[in-house]
Amino acid sequence: MFITNDIKYIGVNDHEVDLFEGQYVVPNGISYNSYVIMDEKIAVMDTVDQNFGDQWLANLEATLEGRKPDYLVVHHMEPDHSANIDNFLTAYPDAVVVSSAKAFAMMKNFFGTDYADRRVVVGEGDTLSLGVHTLTFVTAPMVHWPEVIVTYDNVDKVLFSADGFGKFGALDADEPWTDEARRYYIGIVGKYGAQVQALLKKAAGLDIEIICPLHGPVLTENLGYYIDLYDKWSGYKPEEEGILLAYTSVYGNTKKAVLSLAEQLKANGANVIVKDLARVDMAEAVADAFRYSKLVLATTTYNGDIFPFMREFIDHLVERGFQNRTVAFIENGSWAPLAAKIMKAKLEKCKDLTYVNTSVKILSALNEQSEKQLSDMANELCDITKIPHLYTFLQQKGLEKGIIDKIFYKNAYSTFDKWGLI
C-alpha cells in the first residue's frame, strides 16, 4: 500500500477474529494498522495485536532495509495496538517510546514497567523532529480511552488518527466504508460524542490531506465526506431522513402490526427500515437508530418488563447518548400491557427526544381500534416529512432537527397550512 514516499504501511489483516472486542461480529475481519515514517530519524507509529507480532516485526524489518528505528509512537493503549511494545523494544534496544503520560502509566499495568529510561512524554502541541518531517501531537482524551493522542505530520499533511475514522473489515475486504465505519463508531466510540467534537475542532486547524487510522483503509480523497459524517455522528445528528422500525415479536402479531405500519409509511413516501431485534446484528440495529431521524419501538410486555432483545437495544441507545430523534411506541400485551410505559421510562435519560402523540396498543392481536392507531401513527410520522420546503430551509439555516420536529407535529402543520404559511 502506497501512502507517501516517506510513510510506509506495515500493518496486518486479521481474518481469524470472529468477535472484535469480544462482542462485535466482523465477518470480513479487521485490520491492525501500523506505519513507518522514514526520515533522518525513523518513527514507527503503533504496533499490532499480539497474535500478529511476528508478522508485524517482519513487515517492519523489510521496510527498514537494514536501518534501525529511533522512535515508537504509541497513540492508544488498547492491546490490539500496543501488545507488541515490549517485543519491539527487545528487537530494537536503542529505540525509545513516545506517548502520553497516561499511556506510560498503562504500560506499567500491561508490561510491569513504564520504560522510564526509554521514553519521551508528549502532550498537547508538543513536537518531535525527524529531520525533514516534524510531528505535532494532539491530545484526544476519551476518544475513546483517556490516554489517546493523535499525530500530525506537517510535511505530508497526514493525520495519524488513532481509532478515529476506523472501521471494521480487513483491508482486503471489498465493502463500502460507511456502513462498517458507522457500526464501529456508534458501537465503540458513540458514547464520547463531546470528546470527538473537541478533537474535530482541533483538527479543523490542521491542513490534512491524508488520514491514517488504526483500523480500516487510509483515507486520501474526499476527506470532507468522512469528516462530515464524524461531525454528524459525534453531534448526534441524524445522518439521513428515515424511519427505523425496531421490533420484537413472540407469536407474530407484533410483527404483523410493524409490517402494516411499514407499508403505510412507504405509501406516504417515507424511507422505512425494519429490524427484527432477535434476528439482526444488534450493533447494526443500534447504528441504524443513530443513522435515521425517527424510531418506532415495538415490543411485548414480558415478565412485567419488555422483551429481552428490546431491553438490550434500548440500553445500548441510552448508553451511547441517543438524542435528537422522533420516537413512537407500539406495545402488545394479552393482559396488563406495560411495554410503552417501560420503554419511555428507559429513554428518560436521553435528551431532545420528540414523542409522537399516537401510541399503538395491541391486545394480543390487531383489531379495529389498533388498526386505527397504526393509521394515525403513520400519518403523524409522515406529516413531519410532508413539509419539505420549510423543513429544509430551516435546516439550512442551522436550526437543530429536534427543534424543527417539535414544531412540525401534526396539529402545528395543520395550523400553518390553514394560515397559508406552507
Distance CA 218, CA 140 (A): 20
Find residue 297's DSSP bridge partners: 246, 329
Same CATH topology for 7-234 and 240-386? no
Contact (CB, 8 A) for 58 and 34: no
3-state helix, strand, coil in the chain (%, to 5): 40, 25, 40
CATH fold of 7-234 reads Metallo-beta-lactamase; Chain A (3.60.15)
Residue-range domain boundaries for the chain? 7-234, 240-386
Mean pLDDT over all residues of the chain?
Answer: 93
Distance CA 273, CA 255 (A): 13
One DSSP character per residue, 222-278 reads: -HHHHHHHHHHHHTT--SEEEEEEEE--SSSHHHHHHHHHHHHHHHTT--EEEEETT
Query: Mind listing the pLDDT tens digit for each residue in 301-317?
Result: 988 889 999 999 999 99
Find residue 295's DSSP bridge partners: 244, 327
Residues sharing a CB contact under 8 Å with residue 212, sequence separation 6 or more, in sequence order: 3, 7, 33, 35, 45, 158, 159, 160, 161, 218
Distance CA 182, CA 198 (A): 19
pLDDT confidence of residue 395: 65
Contact (CB, 8 A) for 24 and 169: no
Distance CA 348, CA 232 (A): 22
Query: Mind listing the pLDDT tens digit for each residue in 211-264?
Result: 999 999 999 999 999 999 999 999 999 999 999 999 999 999 999 999 999 999
Return the C-alpha cell found at 172: 482486503
pLDDT at 387 exceeding the cut of 50: no
Query: Model confidence at 389, in pLDDT bands (50, 70, 90)?
Result: very low
Q: Determine the average pLDDT of the residues in 359-374.
A: 92
Query: Mind listing the pLDDT tens digit for each residue in 156-173?
Result: 999 999 999 999 999 999
Other CB atoms within a 10 A radius of the CB of residue 37 amount to 28
pLDDT confidence of residue 336: 79
Query: Mind listing the pLDDT tens digit for each residue in 40-89?
Result: 999 999 999 999 999 999 999 999 999 999 999 999 999 999 999 999 99
Distance CA 344, CA 43 (A): 52
CATH fold of 240-386 reads Rossmann fold (3.40.50)
Query: Mind listing the pLDDT tens digit for each residue in 85-111?
Result: 999 999 999 999 999 999 999 999 999
Distance CA 334, CA 13 (A): 51
Query: Mind listing the pLDDT tens digit for each residue in 177-211?
Result: 999 999 999 999 999 999 999 999 999 999 999 99
